[in-house]
Each structure stands twice: as structure tokens, then as C-alpha cells.
Amino acid sequence: MGAPLTAGRHFFSCRLAHMLLEGKKGLVVSVTNKNSIGWAVAEAAHNQGAHVIVGAQNERMLERVGELVADYPRMSAVQVDFGIPSDMEALAERVKNDFGTADFVVHSAAFAQREDLQGRFIDTSREGFGIALDVSAYSLVSLCKTLEPVLADDASVMAMSYLGSTRTVGNYNVMGVAKAALEACARYLAVDLGPRGIRVNVLSPGPINTVAARGVKGLTDMITYVHDKAPLKREFGQQEVAGSAVYLMSDLSKGVTGQIVFVDNGYNVVGM
């Protein structure tokens, strides 16, 4: 109080140098390559001072993720497929051994059969429907359930959704239904875990060129369309998503849970 203005400026720059996630430890699952949204999130968390375990779905991906994390002193890689119970148990064990408890968990994974990401939604098979919902939505529930004992009080959990959850988007089809389920799961999980101060939120990025996104027919047209119509005319991509993820992992968002945070240059508010 009452500090001179010049000292105030110095104080402010010192505050800016403070890293938002200093001392925090957490997980980002999963990463395929350096274009993965999860990788941008993991890198941003690390650069803000966090320790990060990065998930790879299988042995082949683990090799690549292992190479990526090798350059970062506070990152390590782990193999985890959400559909394999022993992988999930090993993940909880790994968190316990490496961190004791986790301060953040970032679910950044989805899957649907290629044939279900084109043409008419009505043609979705029962099997394809089940696979998409299981891998892309139920996995958040099982991840929270498995990690609950090793989540720190006040931890932050987040998942990645897309506008196709509430609006129809050509070819997105069953993945839109899976994202609707994912968002609903996040709200129910927010209620279950809220008493411990644990927050569960969803980020909803606009279309970004990644391996998963290329599974949706017509991705490049989607990207051009959104960039044309969105209120903000600047480029956006993995880095913008990572910035919002850091906010959600940090104590700055302590009062935010059960929310969908759009990171799409504002495209979702445009009617006509």
C-alpha cells in the first residue's frame, strides 16, 4: 500500500515473471505428435513451471512422444490406452509414484471409425456409435474414477470438445454426439468432484489440422470457413487452446467448473 509509482512498475514486472503453474504436477493424455493439441498444452504447462506426464496410446506412439518429451526437464511419457484396464491402473500408480497427487488432468483424446465421419449420420452403425462414445466420452469418466484417489484437492480436470456437440456440422456426425456426451459427463463429474474443490471443465477449440481432425471429411474447408466467418480474424491454433488450458489449470480459474470454454476466435456466437 502507498508504494511509489515507479516501484509499482517494478513490482508488476516481477509479478509477470512468476510462472502460473509453478510446483504443479499433472497429466496430459494423449499426444500423437507435435501437432497434437495435447502436446501444445503439455508444452505450455511445462513452460509455466509444471511437471507433466504425457500419455501415448500405444508402443509406437510412446516412441514418438518419448522423443518429444526428451527435450523438457520436467516431462516424461507414459503408455496408456483408455480401453485397457491395466494401463489405467498403471497410470494411477505412476502418478502416485512420480507425484504423490496430480494437480491437473487434461483429457485430449477422441476416436470414431472413419466411415462414421462422413456421409449421413443416419448410417452410423451400433458398433461405430458405441466405439465413438466409449473412447471419446466414457474415457473421461473412467479416467476421473481411476485417478480420483491420486487427485489433489483443488485439482483441475479438463477435456476437449467441439461445437459439433450442440450444432450439426457436416461429416462430424457421431463425434458430435460423443462430444455432447463428453460435455454432459464433465458437468456430472464437476458435481461429484466439486466437494473436494476439484474442477472439471471443457475446452471447445475451433477446427485445427491434427491427425484426429483429418479423420473428419472436409477438414480443410471447415478450417477456411471458420477463419472467414469468425469475429476475430487472426490465426488460431494449438497455442491458443494451450493458453486457455493453462488458465484452467491455474489458480486463476478456481471458481470455474462445469463450463465449456470456446477457443475458436468467437465463431460459436455467429448466427448469420
Ligand X SMILES: NC(=O)c1ccc[n+]([C@@H]2O[C@H](COP(=O)([O-])OP(=O)(O)OC[C@H]3O[C@@H](n4cnc5c(N)ncnc54)[C@H](O)[C@@H]3O)[C@@H](O)[C@H]2O)c1
Among 30, 124, 146, 165, binds ligand X (CB under 6 A): 30
Query: Which cell goes with 144?
Result: 476421473
Query: Which cell goes with 118?
Result: 462422413
Q: Which is nearer to ligand X, 152 or 206 (CB)?
A: 206
Asked about 267 being catalytic, the answer comes back as no
DSSP per residue, 195-240: GGT-EEEEEEE-----HHHHTSTTHHHHHHHHHHHSS--S---HHH
Q: Which of 72, 172, 188, 267 is catalytic?
A: 172
Alpha carbon 161 to its chain's center:
8
Using alpha carbons, select from 208, 221, 209 the residue that is nearest to residue 265.
208
Asked about 172 being catalytic, the answer comes back as yes
**By CB under 6 A, which span of 33-41, 68-76, 124-132, 249-257 interacts with ligand X?**
33-41
Site string for ligand X, 193-232 (x = CB under 6 A): ------------x-xx-xxxx-------------------
Asked if the peptide bond before residue 156 counts as cis, ω within 30 degrees of 0, the response is no
Q: How far apart are alpha carbons 103 and 43 in whole angstroms?
A: 16
Alpha helices in the chain (DSSP H): 5-17, 37-47, 59-69, 85-99, 126-133, 139-147, 173-193, 211-214, 219-229, 238-249
Using rule CB under 6 A, residue 257 touches ligand X:
no
Site string for ligand X, 129-148 (x = CB under 6 A): ------x-------------
Using rule CB under 6 A, residue 31 touches ligand X:
yes
Q: How far apart are alpha carbons 144 and 105 in whole angstroms?
A: 9
Site residues for ligand X, window 55-74 (CB under 6 A)? 57, 61
Least distance to ligand X, CB of residue 9, Å: 39
Site string for ligand X, 150-179 (x = CB under 6 A): ----------x-x-----------------
Catalytic residues: 162, 172
Chain residues that interact with ligand X, rule: CB under 6 A: 30-32, 36-38, 57, 61, 80-83, 108-111, 135, 160, 162, 205, 207-208, 210-213
